[in-house]
Structure 1
Amino acid sequence: MLTIRPISSDLADVAKTELNEDPYQLKSQLEVLNSWLNECAMLCGTLNDQILLSFLRGCKFSLVKTKEKLSLFYRIRTILRQVVQNRDPFDKHVLQVIKLGVGIPLPETASPIDPRIFIIRVAQFDLEKCSFADVIKIGTMINDIMMRDDDQVVICGMCLIIDLARVTAAHLFQFEMEFLRQVAILYQDASPFRMRGIHILNPPPGLHTVMAIFNSLLSQKNQDKRIFVHGSSLSSLHKHFPREILPTEYDGLLGPIQTCLDFWEMKLRNNRDYLLEMAELRDSQAEEAQRIQLPLKQSVSFRENDFFGIDGSFRKLELD
């Protein structure tokens, strides 16, 4: 018996035409994945059918690609334990980072089949209160909930609005390239969400240097997506996202962004048990590789031309 929820006719049309979804094949496809996971002794921890369906949709129902993505999902989370462990939303420090509101999904889209919009407010990352890994941890918590609960983002993809207002060199200096490289794999190669566009607001001086490194962290598929730089112009942003679906802070009519943040704080709290359960997923082979300090590139299958060999940190940058 399938344990997945039905979707609207609009989403079903997108899933069929863009993702090759066939409702009559879902049961057998999920059975294949469940059987495969049961046979993979190194992949520890279970995923329910709804989450497995998210990965199938993210791979356009290629079983081969879905298995590869699931394997990487377990493996990279094992390697990046600092962003998936100690994620109790009732923990004082975790709650403090949640309240910063660095990355927040917006509740509305112009159409029910538009990509889900995420606002990333980089300057909300408070260097005195948390590390960059703490910020990424909250992002994984939100994504874990959305890949189980939000059919729209799974089927229609996501758009990022990256607000760089008030970003300083001190923020950029926190970004070690090796860690960024691993996080890029976590959010691109090991995620069921498809990137549909990236919008940059309030870029700082030295944007070209920052963008060159940012682009190098994108997979080839995401490099081919359109990246829009709006400067400080909200009217430019509104040509892509109507004011009705944007928060007040972006001259929108949705209401203050704090309302969205309050909603997600409560949602994370309400899903405490699930989040702790997802923190237990691991790849025992990758775990052993870490124990004996096997070099990362031997324990994770990277793309052949990964990230163009960039090393070090943003401390090497010269911002204008």
Structure 2
Amino acid sequence: MSAKITYSNESMKQYAVENLNETEESARRGIEEILSWIKDTPGLNAKKDDRSILAFLRGCKFNLELTKKKMRNFYVMKVERPEWFSNRDPDLSELSELINLGVFIPLKKYHNNMLVVIIRTAAHDPKIHKQDNVFKAGKMILDLAVEENFDNATVYGVCAVFDMTNISLAHARQLPPHVIKKAVFAWQNYYCRPKQLEFINAPIYVNVVLKIFKSFMSEKLQGRVRVHFSGNDALHKVVSKEILPFEYGGNEGPVADLIEYWSKKICERKDWFKNDEQYKAEFSL
């Protein structure tokens, strides 16, 4: 390990020790072993810097075999899902449009130290926008949000709020079981852990769709899914209103400001996305 691990505060360090089995020694040994494994795995093309490896180690609580499995799945997914991970250019018209529609919005403040993202499942028009491009835009913003909130996102995890306002049958048709299976696989093999999955403004029939989602989830992930039918009041019971935008009954300004912030950020990091595309496996599972 070339650089010493630092934490925002002492409580984060203590949390990492107690919940992730993370110490300076376990991090050093873990990074060394995973780096050696990457070098001995032809065609994996994984990132070899300490920070990228540490993210996976944290996501697997420093279980080295689980880390290797998740990293293999992640880098293979990147080559098997070119519709999500190739040509991630924010200047492409549909990607730009989806970003500016606010299909995926990270918040600026944390909830219980977790990075919070609002996923507006019906912000796009299914007659115009492909679901694959919705996923691509969302993953681009998630990658950038984790990059900019690395310690909180990788130590404490991510709270995902799925806003189902105005969800329609046309939106649901964009999510047949084989697409849902790919989406859940991505959640379970990303380098940051989804700690809360909160579905808000849900229609009565939502359980039909969620049943399919849950059929592909691990038991642990299933236990993190919660459905809320009564709007913002229900949301405030699980995410503090102090960090939410006005539209969600919060105090942190309008959604439009967050969209503008992330749209600008993603354009500034265009070269970062271009560079990231080289890191994908040369083999398939």
1:137 is displaced (CA, Å) by 0.6
1:205 is displaced (CA, Å) by 3.5
- Where 2:25 maps in the other structure, the secondary structure is coil
Match of 2:240 among 231, 239, 242: 242
Matches within 5 A, 1:20-35: 20-35=21-36
Deviations 1:194-233 (A, max 9, x none): 22222221212322312212222322220122x3322133
Partner of 1:197: 196
With 141-150 and 234-243 compared, the bigger mean Cα shift is at 141-150
The question of whether the paired residues in 1 share the 8 Å contact of 2:243 and 2:251 is answered with yes
Letter in 1 for 2:181: R
The question of whether the paired residues in 2 share the 8 Å contact of 1:78 and 1:283 is answered with yes
Whether 1:229 and 2:223 are equivalent positions in the alignment is: no
1:3 is displaced (CA, Å) by 4.0
Partner of 2:137: 138
Partner of 1:304: none
Partner of 2:81: 80
Letter in 1 for 2:136: K
Q: State the TM-score, normalizing by the size of structure 2.
A: 0.92
Partner of 2:266: 268
Partner of 2:152: 152
- Where 1:44 maps in the other structure, the secondary structure is coil
Query: For 2:46 and 2:192, how far apart are their aligned partners in 1?
Result: 21
- Where 1:200 maps in the other structure, the secondary structure is strand
Letter in 2 for 1:63: L
Deviations 1:50-75 (A, max 9, x none): 11101010011111111111111111
Query: For 1:47 and 1:146, how far apart are their aligned partners in 2?
Result: 20
The question of whether the paired residues in 2 share the 8 Å contact of 1:54 and 1:147 is answered with no
The question of whether the paired residues in 1 share the 8 Å contact of 2:180 and 2:213 is answered with no
Partner of 1:162: 162
With 89-98 and 34-43 compared, the bigger mean Cα shift is at 89-98
Does the C-alpha gap of structure 1 residues 270 and 40 become closer, same or farther in structure 2, counting only changes over 3 Å? Answer: same
Percent identity, aligned pairs only, is 29
Does the C-alpha gap of structure 1 residues 209 and 10 become closer, same or farther in structure 2, counting only changes over 3 Å? Answer: same
Query: For 2:227 and 2:43, how far apart are their aligned partners in 1?
Result: 43
Does the C-alpha gap of structure 1 residues 233 and 91 become closer, same or farther in structure 2, counting only changes over 3 Å? Answer: closer
1:140 is displaced (CA, Å) by 1.8
The question of whether the paired residues in 2 share the 8 Å contact of 1:103 and 1:119 is answered with yes
1:14 is displaced (CA, Å) by 1.0
With 200-209 and 78-87 compared, the bigger mean Cα shift is at 200-209
Structure 1: unaligned runs, 5 residues or longer: 287-298, 300-320
- Where 2:162 maps in the other structure, the secondary structure is strand
Deviations 1:229-276 (A, max 9, x none): 221332222122222111100111111111111121122122222211
Structure 2: unaligned runs, 5 residues or longer: none
Query: For 1:3 and 1:275, how far apart are their aligned partners in 2?
Result: 24
- Where 1:240 maps in the other structure, the secondary structure is coil
Q: Which has the larger radius of gyration?
A: 1
1:155 is displaced (CA, Å) by 0.8
The question of whether the paired residues in 1 share the 8 Å contact of 2:141 and 2:266 is answered with yes
Letter in 1 for 2:57: L
- Where 2:24 maps in the other structure, the secondary structure is coil
1:173 is displaced (CA, Å) by 0.7
Whether 1:184 and 2:184 are equivalent positions in the alignment is: yes
Matches within 5 A, 1:301-312: none
The question of whether the paired residues in 1 share the 8 Å contact of 2:181 and 2:213 is answered with no
- Where 1:24 maps in the other structure, the secondary structure is helix
Whether 1:39 and 2:37 are equivalent positions in the alignment is: no
Does the C-alpha gap of structure 1 residues 91 and 3 become closer, same or farther in structure 2, counting only changes over 3 Å? Answer: farther
Letter in 2 for 1:195: P
Across the aligned residues of Structure 1 and Structure 2, the Cα RMSD in angstroms comes to 1.8
- Where 1:66 maps in the other structure, the secondary structure is helix
Whether 1:54 and 2:52 are equivalent positions in the alignment is: no
The question of whether the paired residues in 1 share the 8 Å contact of 2:203 and 2:229 is answered with no
Matches within 5 A, 1:90-169: 90-111=91-112, 113=113, 115-149=114-148, 150-169=150-169
Query: For 1:140 and 1:241, how far apart are their aligned partners in 2?
Result: 22
Deviations 1:157-182 (A, max 9, x none): 12221111111101111113212212
- The aligned length equals 283
Query: For 1:209 and 1:196, how far apart are their aligned partners in 2?
Result: 22
Q: State the TM-score, normalizing by the size of structure 1.
A: 0.83
